Copies of this chain bind each other. A is one copy, B any other.
Amino acid sequence: MENTKSLSAIFEPNSVAVVGASRDPLKLGNLILKDMIKAQFKGSIYAVNPSTKEVLGLRTYASIKDVPKPLDLAVIAVPARFVFSVVDECAEAGCRALIIVSGGFREMGTAGAELQEKLLERVKTAGMRMVGPNCMGVSNPHANFCASFPVVTVKGSISLIVNSGTVGNILQYWAEVEGVGISKYCDLGNHADVDEVDLIQYFGQDPHTKVIACGLEGISNGREFVRVASEVSKSKPIVILKSGRSKGGAATAATHSSSMAGRDEIISAAFEKAGIVRVDTQEELFDVSKALMMLKLPRGDRILVITSSGGEAILALDACENLGLEASQLSQRVIDVLKRRLPEYAVVRNPLDLTTACFDAEVYADSIRVTEEEPYDVVLGIFEDPIPNVALAMGKVAKETNKVIAAVYIEGPELEKSEMLKLHSVGVPVFPTPERAMKAIKGLCQYASWRRRHT
């Protein structure tokens, strides 16, 4: 609990100092302060810079000493050689936690590693917690708090842990554009103190977090990681893109985030045991997390495709079988019912091809209602053309049915975006292609299967 309490100073501070607050728009101390203001943080922000009176409309303080107390969090973005004195001042000021953006530590080799050890010692001695060094910060839209970039405004329920600011960025951009949002975000950087185990534990207890999504280059403490992840997985899914699988990738990870990439087959086995869904690309990390965030857990791996496009349905079934999911068969009784209700040119089987009956959203919804007792678990609806009130109809049936509903919408960028936002708002995740949808469903089914076996 002590652990959890002190991490709250990082994600839910009441007062934050930005040390190295800069007027130079290319400096991190400027970018982070700008986004902290833009996120409309309700607590106190103190800009620390001894050589100017004002930064981004805020009066500055010459040092941490001058900042009003109590101080929860200091974000430090000054050159490495100044970090130690700032940390000492923070300790003296009773500051609870640090985010050290500054690089120049373990990622720089042996001398840097020694410097980092000393830094960690001082931070620990003072009873503080530290994110970084060499990191891009943290963010918590639920507290309007962003000590990073970009600013995600949508309050979501995916919490994101990364070793790379850019991997964090790409996922946050997608989350914002799709109206999915995030719960919390942390770039671990060199993870000298706070690491993925701390965060998985913390997010496991965080009421705003439903899914924990990680883009990691290494696992610091394998045994502890598996213990904590196995426990958290029992209530919340963890999805991990673990990079550094290749020789070149592993060598790069060693310097980039001081991560030991580890033996890949051992990691895969450990992940499987701990209920972690391992993914291969950033898009898959996002898609699987989105599915797990929006959908209830299916009771099995059996899929029904309802479509107005035969071509896309064939791609969906190919992906389904290729991923080891099962394309469910409809019973003769339900086939007869559907044939009576649908126009004669509809093709009644799996995929259920509504052809031109697709312009009526109720036909999709009805088809799900009629098949309620059929032996499938997940239905993928493939939509094209403008379909009036499709989100309304799908949202309604999603609430009534025991089936899990996911969707693909293909109709050009504008309509795709607006319909996606509407469908997302009623809890139906939309994916850009059937191939990607089926991978997301696979991740969902994989976690559901682990949960059935472990609770």
Contact = CB atoms under 8 A, between A and B. Distances in A.
A249 to B, nearest CB: 4
A246 B321 contact: yes
Contact of A249 (B162, B308, B321): B321
Chain A interface: which size bin?
A: 35 or more
Interface in A247-281: 247-249, 251-253, 255-257, 280-281
Contacts of A351: 248, 252
Tally of this chain's copies = 2
Contact of A309 (B166, B177, B309, B436): B166
Interface string A199-241: 0000000000000000101000000000000000000000001
B248 A217 contact: no
A173 B315 contact: no
A425 interface: no
A160 to B, nearest CB: 13
B320 A246 contact: yes
A427 interface: no
B433 A345 contact: no
A433 B167 CA distance: 10
B169 A247 contact: no
A322 interface: yes
Given A318-B249, A413-B173, A167 B311 contact: yes
A165 interface: yes
A169 to B, nearest CB: 6
Nearest to A244: B314
Interface of A: 26, 103-104, 108, 150, 162-167, 169-170, 173, 177, 215, 217, 241, 243-249, 251-253, 255-257, 280-283, 308-315, 317-318, 320-322, 327, 345, 347, 349-351, 353, 359, 384, 410-413, 432-433, 435-436
The 4 closest A-B pairs by CB, nearest first: A164-B311, A256-B310, A246-B321, A166-B309
